[in-house]
Amino acid sequence: MTKLLSALLIASAAVVLPAHAATLQADKSELSFTFKQMGVPVDGRFKKFDAQLDFDAKKPEAGKIAFTVDLGSVSLGDPSFDRELAAATWFDTKRNGHATFVSSGIKATGPGKYDVAGKLTIKGAVRDVVVPITLTNGVAQGSLPIKRLDFKIGDGEWADTSVVANDVAVKFRLAFSGL
């Protein structure tokens, strides 16, 4: 659920790269999320995601980032749970195969630190978000809190936040080559 947000964070992390094209190293990158079910933390991850970036560290405000997450690649570590997440009440991967983040602005907040503003789209719901990222040695990382119900994740009986919490923490670690 928050994997999309994680993707957003990852995309935001990419904007701190030099002014030439950088390539996401998916095998060295992670997009994960944590939520609570009946008060117990549950961790998941997305296995497939991609980022495109255009960034000049001397002019971060001119940078752009786009991030895409394959919602069908979600994993809670159990195939039956993963199939449930693909269903219409959760990610509805048959109609909404991808989540996206497209930046609208980048602001330097300190050495190697940036706030990336943009639009996060999951299941057709679009929200403005700001993703704080840190860039060190070609690796962008950060986290973004989201509200799953803002994106219609967990409709119907699953909208009850006493069972599955509304808060989801999306975390990312994105490694880039060609910097």
What is the full DSSP assignment across 96-149?
Answer: --EEEEEEEEEEEEETTEEEEEEEEEETTEEEEEEEEEEEETTEEEEEEEEEGG
Q: How high is the pLDDT of residue 45?
A: 97
Task: State the Cα–Cα distance between residues 20 and 174, nearest whole angstrom.
Answer: 17
Q: How high is the pLDDT of residue 90?
A: 95
Q: Report domain extents, the chain.
A: 3-177
Q: How high is the pLDDT of residue 105?
A: 94
List per-residue pLDDT tens for the chain, 179 residues long. 444 434 433 444 433 334 456 788 999 999 999 999 999 999 999 999 998 877 777 888 888 888 999 999 999 999 999 999 999 999 999 999 999 999 999 999 999 899 999 999 999 999 999 999 998 888 889 999 999 999 999 988 899 999 999 999 999 999 888 65
How many C-beta atoms surround the C-beta of residue 136 within 10 A? Answer: 10
pTM of the model: 0.84
Look at the domain 3-177 and name its fold.
Lipocalin (2.40.128)
> Longest C-alpha distance within the chain, in Å?
49
Q: Are 103 and 78 in contact (CB under 8 A)?
A: no
From the list 162, 178, 133, 168, the residue with the least C-alpha distance to 34 is: 168
Residue 158: both structure tokens together: 């699953």
